[in-house]
Amino acid sequence: MTNSNTDWTLQGTATRRDRYYAASQRKFVPFQEPIVFRRGLMQYLYDNEDRQFIDLLGMNVCISVGHSHPRVVAAAQAQAAELTHCTTMFYHPVPAHLAEELTATLPEGPEWVVHFTNSGAEAVDLAMTIARTYTGNLDLLALRTGYHGPTAAAQSVTGIAGWRHPGMPGHVAFVPEPNQYRGIFGENAGADPYLGEIERVISSSTTGRIAGMLVESVQGYGGIIQMPRGYMSGAAERVRAAHGLYIADEVQSGFGRTGDHMWGFEADGVIPDIIVMAKGIGNGFPLGAVVTQRKIAEPMADKFMFHTYGANPTSCAAGRAVLEVIREDRVQENARKVGGLLLQRLHELKEKHVAIGDVRGCGLMLAIEMVKDRKTKEPDRELTAAVFENCRESGLILSKSGPTQSVLRMVPPMCLAVEDVDAVAEGLDRAFTALG
């Protein structure tokens, strides 16, 4: 039941946002005309006038198994009705069970342990602290177009100027992202030249001993950039040779989203030292986690480390339900199947529309990159924005991403159905065609 005093009109909501939201939270509105969403059902969203949209954004990759999934809702409701919150100073079985169930999804061998946080950015902060504490080193490596969150520490390892604010901590060196479409070594250059850059940066921009390297297994806000085969495993080898830890950021790419694997890093056979999780873990409930080996986590016990809502039992109950749905409803397999069909349709759109420079992705992490000229690959930010606006008229909600906002990013709930593929492809086609 919603609050009877809630004003659901666009005008009323806009007025209150403009008056009471800080500029930092008020500014980012993707569409020229804002949308008020009132409800969601699996892969669909409904606005305040009950118009239906296909959610290709997954409400910023947070909705993994579907909006208001009945099993996730039921699990959270049952726990909230019994005990909404219990701090980790006291014992509660639900977070403990979730920790056990999470570690069971990871590669065998290491003795995995979990520290729950409230968000991905907090988890990144903690991962950085763990790496520096364990190794005794300060320097970290990150990718130039990586994104790891809005907190000061997470911003320091984010390589895109528009997401960086003053006052960030230092001791971070950036390496070029292994972009196989427009990377510094040209198209389809593979992993080797970029691994050479890791070695060069370690020797020239650090002390030679590093705390670690953060890598999104598939870059999300960077424009759905997949790591070429051999890059993640090769990066881990070079980082460890410099006494550091390999940190896999699975905030966007985890929980089966890539289709072929539960975790994006599994595509390259690497076992990370630290894994960062969030977003899809709670299907919209605030929840994040850092998973690492017991020996790496142990030095953190020497000082106080506490997240007020970390391991919140209501969010963790939702997280347990998410894992259950992924397993029992074969969600990962659906991401692979439906994502493969949609990627094929995107390639067909590329053949039809010359403004599409590249289509890429895996599972239900897909992207269309817009260019002014396919030979020069000059990004077309303006056309991307125009197509984006037209997508709304076609009933599609997606996002603009990449360093120049010239990429249409599609990361829908993983329950997206085969029957939705035609609607998505046709809606995108209309959005392009409307521009002539």
* Residue corresponding to tokens 């806009």: 14
Q: In whole angstroms, what is the distance from residue 128 CA to residue 119 CA?
A: 15
**Is 42:66 a contact under the CB 8 Å cutoff?**
yes
**C-alpha of 401 from chain center:** 12
CB atoms inside a 10 Å sphere around CB 36: 15
Q: In whole angstroms, what is the distance from residue 31 CA to residue 392 CA?
A: 8
Query: What's the confidence (pLDDT) of residue 3?
Result: 64
Query: What's the confidence (pLDDT) of residue 302?
Result: 85
Burial of 404 (0-12, 13-18, 19+ CB in 10 A): middle
**Which part of the chain has CATH 3.40.640.10?**
72-328
**Is 275:292 a contact under the CB 8 Å cutoff?**
yes
**Is 398:364 a contact under the CB 8 Å cutoff?**
no
Contacts of 60 (CB under 8 A, 6+ apart): 279, 399
Q: Which CATH class is domain 72-328?
A: alpha beta
* Closest listed residue to residue 240, CA positions, set 287, 293, 189: 293
* Residue corresponding to tokens 């990004």: 379
Q: In whole angstroms, what is the distance from residue 395 CA to residue 417 CA?
A: 16
CB atoms inside a 10 Å sphere around CB 377: 16
Please tell me what DSSP assigns to residue 30.
Answer: -
Query: What's the confidence (pLDDT) of residue 29?
Result: 76
Query: What's the confidence (pLDDT) of residue 2?
Result: 55
The pLDDT profile of the chain, 436 residues, written as one tens digit per residue, is: 556 789 999 999 989 999 999 988 887 777 888 899 999 999 999 999 999 999 999 999 999 999 999 999 999 999 999 999 999 999 999 999 999 999 999 999 999 999 999 999 999 999 999 999 999 999 999 999 999 999 999 899 998 888 888 888 889 999 999 999 999 999 999 999 999 999 999 999 999 999 999 999 999 999 999 999 999 999 999 999 999 999 999 999 999 999 999 999 999 999 999 999 999 999 999 999 999 999 999 999 988 888 889 999 999 999 999 999 999 999 999 999 999 999 999 999 999 999 999 999 999 999 999 999 999 999 999 999 999 999 999 999 999 999 999 999 999 999 999 999 999 999 999 999 998 7
Q: In whole angstroms, what is the distance from residue 175 CA to residue 142 CA?
A: 6
Provide the token pair at 214: 């953060």
10-61+332-433 CATH, one of 3.40.50.620, 3.90.1150.10, 3.40.50.720, 3.40.50.920: 3.90.1150.10
